[in-house]
Structure 1
């Protein structure tokens, strides 16, 4: 008398049946799902600025210029302390006023990140980078 051998293969046919049934259910119900809408900003809304932003020009490591077009203030070569003082004065006057950072190509990325970190540590939240369009 021979003994029966144990079958060591997995029967995948029931799993395939279940997957096909689920696929059909999803294919039928997917067109019935409501689609969401996304309101993207238009160009005319995005380009309008409420107030002129404050500008910080990074000339190198620990070399900054401060520009305020609203009051026509231009301070070349200011220190971190005087830069923060001017920014705090402008932010107390108008807390919604943004600060933009501009830098030349030759300025190291580390110098720009140092200014961004300085602004973040001093709770100045609206910070952006000023870019020039390609010509």
Structure 2
């Protein structure tokens, strides 16, 4: 035996306890912050049996979403605002966001109780800002098939 190594064996195992501790701390951080990251206002989306969009189109960039509540107020997912914006402000902010990312997906998220005119106004705001294609956010339709099938 070499001198200074009497009675000691080399340990051939990795101590994974510190890694598990770090993983659990990160898990707790993500569990606490994930609900805080959802932004926007509470709207009751219309239930429509439309073809869903491909989620791969939205993975690269965050979508630009203009929300319309039941009272016709406009909300843009820009920053952490929860206050309604005017038509002029929404147009300017959407134009600025689209100039930085022209391929950014553009969506309208309107409450089912919002008037047709308010939703059309939201779409016009996005078109004035330079959006080429505008998608509508809806909930999937619940099918009530007689006979329980």
TM-score bin, normalised by smaller chain: 0.5 to 0.7
Give yes or no for contact 1:64–1:78 (8 Å, CA) kept in 2: yes
Distance 1:120 1:99, change over 3 A: same
Q: TM-score, normalised by structure 2?
A: 0.51
Following superposition, the deviation at residue 56 of structure 1 comes to 0.8
Q: What's the C-alpha RMSD, in Å, of the aligned pairs?
A: 2.4
Q: Does 1:95 align with 2:82?
A: no
- Structure 2, unmatched stretches of 5+, are 1-51, 143-149
Distance 1:81 1:75, change over 3 A: farther
Following superposition, the deviation at residue 88 of structure 1 comes to 1.2
Give yes or no for contact 2:72–2:115 (8 Å, CA) kept in 1: no
Distance 1:62 1:104, change over 3 A: closer
- Structure 1, unmatched stretches of 5+, are 1-42
Distance 1:122 1:86, change over 3 A: closer
Cα distance in 2 for residues equivalent to 1:85 and 1:122: 7
Q: TM-score, normalised by structure 1?
A: 0.56
Q: Which residue of 2 aligns with 1:126?
A: 133
Number of aligned residue pairs: 89
Larger mean Cα displacement after TM superposition, 93-102 or 112-121: 112-121
Which stretches of structure 1, 4 residues or more, deviate above 4 A after TM superposition?
A: none
Largest Rg, 1 or 2: 1
SS of match in other structure, 1:76: coil
Question: Greater share of strand residues, 1 or 2?
Answer: 1
